[in-house]
Amino acid sequence: MITQNRSPQNAMELALIQRWQNDEAEAFDELYTQHAPAIYRLGWAMLQQAESAEDVVQETFLRAHKARCRYDYQKASFSTWLYQIALNYCRSYLRRKRLFTIPWLYSPNETPDLPDGRPGPETHALRGEYRRLLWEAVQNLSVPLREVVTLHYYMELPAVEIAVMLNCPEGTIYSRLHNARRYLAKALAEKGVTSLELLEPQNAH
């Protein structure tokens, strides 16, 4: 595991985690309530199925609970640790299914919660078409590039956190993001689109 310089974790959360590590059921329930929505979001982003995303949440917390005494706040924040567990489960699921899709193409029943500047009707329509073309191109990325795109632009995680999750240097994350953007720019240019405004870094720290 790669360690990174990071700000201290919230003292209240650390106390809650310690209670959970001492097997207090109420502490586990509180952590679940706080972090389950984000894990569900990651699960849905990776697997594009509500039922599978729910399985990601359940399996992540089950695995985390079994490994609770091995969690070290000096190596990673608690949320990063959970994301890592969730991502590993998603990878296993995708290997079994031999499937990897990015879910940001609109479907009748589920619409992803992407940032939106509340434009007018015409601009909104253009941005919707842009999203469609963009995420069609994202699906053609290699798996490593799709992972960092998912984590950085959809989950809005900084490169330093993604590096911890993927156990690789932070520079590798930036390199993958750069390569992904270059590929997507080329793919969109072939369709007459020259803007990558929706792939501006969400939090470049």
CA distance 174 to 170: 7
User: Which range has the worst mean pLDDT, 10-14, 132-136, 186-190?
Assistant: 132-136
- Residue pair 154/199 in contact (Cβ under 8 Å)? The answer is no
- pLDDT value at residue 98: 57
Query: Which CATH architecture group holds 11-97?
Result: Orthogonal Bundle (1.10)
User: Which residue has better confidence, 170 or 192?
Assistant: 170
Place of tokens 């590798």: 172
Name the segment(s) of the chain with CATH classification 1.10.10.10.
121-199
How confident is the model over 101-134, as pLDDT tens digits? 454 443 434 444 443 444 444 444 455 677 777 8
CATH code 3.30.565.10 for 121-199: no
Does this model's pTM top 0.75? My answer is no
Name the segment(s) of the chain with CATH classification 1.10.1740.10.
11-97
Where is mean pLDDT largest: 79-88, 111-120, 140-149? Answer: 79-88
CA distance 103 to 100: 10
Average pLDDT score over residue span 160-182 = 92
Give, as one character, the DSSP assignment of residue 200. S
